[in-house]
Amino acid sequence: MKEILSILILFTTINLSAQENVCDCVEIGIETLQSIQRGATEKTVQKRFEKQNKKCDELSQKLGSNFEKNMASCENFPKFIQLMAGGNNNAKPNAEVCICVDLSIQILKEFEQGISEEDISKLYQKESDLCDKLSNELGEEQFGLQMMNCDGFSDLMELLMKEDE
């Protein structure tokens, strides 16, 4: 009997401490959104994830603005953003859009190295114009959703979060 009680306490402790990092909270967000997509009511979902959400709220308060920044570095973050935006997370990446994502990453890295905006504009003007044209053709919302399918999207989000500091 004592062993069973010890095992139950262990499993309860593991379950409650499961949200020890931001990526666990992102996964809870994904599961929540998927449950809603499958037809669960918001009230049902809130009840189901109540303990996990409380842990994530505590972690968020503990980390402050670093919570959101850390979210961007999670492997599952693009899927979370995509679900929030209502996009199709099984869509095949658009090669042209992914080139634009990679270009954005390159430009942000150049900024980090102290290269001036004027020099970057000269260096990447042609590529930037092609990306602007593609964004206009697809529409900003569709372009953004397709960016989320690119391998470099997480890296881009991390760089953008750093820039906000």
Domain ranges of the chain: 2-85, 95-163
Contact 150, 89 (CB under 8 A): no
pTM for this prediction = 0.61
CA distance 73 to 154: 6
pLDDT, one tens digit per residue, over 10-68 is 333 333 334 468 899 999 988 988 888 888 888 888 888 889 889 998 988 988 878 88
